[in-house]
Structures are given as C-alpha cells and as structure tokens.
A and B are shown apart, each in its own frame.
Chain A
Amino acid sequence: MHELSIASNLINIVKHATEGQEVSRVTSLRIVIGEMSNVVPDCLAFAFEVASKGTLAEDARIDFVEKPLVGRCLDCGTEFGIRDFLFRCPDCESPKIEVVSGREFFLESIECEQ
C-alpha cells in the first residue's frame, strides 16, 4: 500500500517537472534509494507501473541507484560502512555516529523524448 502512495506522488513530481517542456513521453526515471530507506525497489517499480497508466510516464523504466549505509564517527571522524545496522565506530568504538548516506530516497532525474 505504502509503495503505491509513493508511486502516485512520483507521478505528480514527474508531471510538475515536465510542465512547460516539450515532452512526448518519459522513458526512464533515476531514483536514488538508501539502504535504510525502508522502500523496496521491486514493489515501487510495480506500483509505478500501475500508477503511471495513461500518463506521460507510462512504460517508463525505473533505474534505481542504491546507496549503502555509511556513517561518520563524531568523535574521531572515521567514515565506515555500517554493517548489520551497528552504529559503532570500528576505530574508537564511539556510539556517536552520524549517517552520511543510506537514508536517501529521491528522484534524481528523468529521461524524456521530445
């Protein structure tokens, strides 16, 4: 259910972005998705297929750019890949970790035909 509401929001964003431009159809969308964004690419692709019927983006392909979860230690500055969701610095063992990437969830760009 959740992915379907995101898909309809996605259609609105695409409509807005193509407004006033000479676009005959949208061929692909590039979506950046973080490891910790709680969104399932396959589900979103399916929901998008349903939600895009009859719009400029019908039959458009979604390219997902998946971003791994990366943290930065606020005590010693080390950047490291967070595995198994353990927010602890591998160098100094500090638990004060800022998430550098892995929470992304945005539409980066769309590819269109004129």
Chain B
Amino acid sequence: MEIKVLSNLLKANDAIAEQNRKTFRENKVTVYNLIGSPGAGKTSVLEVAIERLKGQYRIGVIEGDIATSRDAERIAKLGVETLQINTRGACHLDANMIASALSEFPYQGLDMLFIENVGNLVCPAGYALGEDAKIVVISVPEGEDKPAKYPLIFRNASLMLLNKIDLIPYCDFDIETMKQDALGVNPALDVIGTSCTSGEGAEEWAAWLTSRMQQRDSRG
C-alpha cells in the first residue's frame, strides 16, 4: 500500500523560522545571519561594524558556537547585548535554537540583530533562522574556489564580505576569478573586500548596513 505524503523535510525548521521572522518584523528588528568557515573572521567583521554603528543603532548579537563563550565575550566588551548559544556538536544553528534564545534575550528595542552562525559553509546555508539577509564571510587564505565549491550559501546570501584582503600579496589568490564565480552563482550578490587588520573596507561595510536600515525606514 502506498501513502502519499508530500511533506517538506525541512518544514519543521521553516515554520519556526517564519514565526521568528514575524516576531522580528513586529519589533522592527533587522536580522542578519552571518555564515562562514571557522576562522574566516565573522566575529572580527562584527566587531568592526559594531564599533562604527553602535552610536547610531541599538545592536544585539547572538553567537552560535559548538563550544565556549569566547566570541560572546569579545562582542560583549563592545557594550552591546550579547547571547551565546552552544550547539554542543551540531553543525549549524536552527530556527528553534533562535526561538528558544529569544525568550532570554532582550531583542525588543533593537534596530539590528546579528546572528553569528557556527563556522561552516555547508549546513547553515540550508537552515533559515528568520533573518532578513544572509551575509557570507569568506577569507583570502581559504582560496578563490569557495563560491564554485559551496554554491548554495553564495546563492542565498545578499552580501559577501571577502575578508583578510591584506593577505592577497602572500596568497595565490585571484580576486577577479573569485568575484566572477560568486556573481555567476548569484548575480545580485553585493561584494565588499575587508581587512580587520588594516581597516580597509570597514566604511563600505558599515555603509552597506546603514543603507539597508535607511531603506527599511523609508518603507515605514
């Protein structure tokens, strides 16, 4: 006997993500899901953005890591509301972890919430959390082939931060090939090169976030 099911296997997650999205919209919180490999510089680019924007916007951060609260401690030093989620081995954050975190995190009144996902280019790409946009952070030493090898995250992201660009002279890295591959997967992808050591790209990165806030405000 055959039973027709037609059930989306990520439906449980998608339904909770939709609920999170609604909660964020009602509270006018713009949410970014930061995704990148371990060591790409996700926490560092966040520090850069927070330092530039915390005077202007109320910012919160949820840090996802398999273990430790080191990233949350770094971010908390900047004086913004921070919460650490430890996934205890899970390779990605899912919408339910965010929903549970919201019960103990004062997101109401925030303008921007950054969710730093577990370091991984694969699994986080498939799990919506309720964010407005995904930001993929990729760094020069990882190699220019990442958009070709991990297309889903580049397809789903709104912005690619190409971090550690100060290391280009020391790596065999062709920035044009990388941009072409990334734009081939997602022609609408914005690309900003950053270096958290030299400060390059910091203004542009902050301006990207600010312009999205202004777009949101002009829509009411």
What residues make up the interface of A, taking CB atoms closer than 8 Å to B?
Answer: 1-2, 5-6, 9-10, 13-14, 17-18, 21, 23, 31, 36-39, 84-88, 95-96, 105-114
Provide the residues of chain A in CB contact with B92, threshold 8 Å. 2
> Is the pair B90, A1 in contact by a Cβ cutoff of 8 Å?
yes
Provide the residues of chain A in CB contact with B3, threshold 8 Å. 17-18, 21, 109-110, 112
Contact partner of A108 among B6, B12, B122, CB < 8 A? B6
> Is the pair A13, B91 in contact by a Cβ cutoff of 8 Å?
no
> Is the pair B122, A10 in contact by a Cβ cutoff of 8 Å?
no
Interface size on B, residues (CB 8 A): 30
> Is the pair A84, B187 in contact by a Cβ cutoff of 8 Å?
no
B89 interfacial contact with A, CB 8 Å: yes
> Is the pair A36, B152 in contact by a Cβ cutoff of 8 Å?
yes
Report the bound CA distance from A112 to B10 in whole Å: 23
Provide the residues of chain A in CB contact with B151, threshold 8 Å. 36, 85
The 3 closest A-B pairs by CB, nearest first: A95-B187, A85-B151, A86-B184
Per DSSP, chain B at the interface is: mixed
Per DSSP, chain A at the interface is: mixed
Report the bound CA distance from A21 to B1 in whole Å: 11
Provide the residues of chain A in CB contact with B6, threshold 8 Å. 106-109
> Is the pair B2, A87 in contact by a Cβ cutoff of 8 Å?
no
Of B1, B92, B183, B187, the most chain A CB neighbours within 10 A belong to: B1
Q: Determine how close the nearest CB of chain B comes to the CB of A21; give it in whole angstroms.
A: 7
> Is the pair A110, B2 in contact by a Cβ cutoff of 8 Å?
yes
B23 interfacial contact with A, CB 8 Å: no
Q: Determine how close the nearest CB of chain B comes to the CB of A30; give it in whole angstroms.
A: 9
- A-B contact sample (19 more), CB < 8 A, given A1-B91, A84-B148, A86-B185: A1-B123, A5-B94, A9-B9, A13-B9, A18-B3, A21-B1, A21-B3, A23-B1, A36-B151, A38-B125, A85-B148, A85-B151, A85-B184, A106-B5, A108-B6, A110-B3, A112-B1, A112-B2, A114-B1
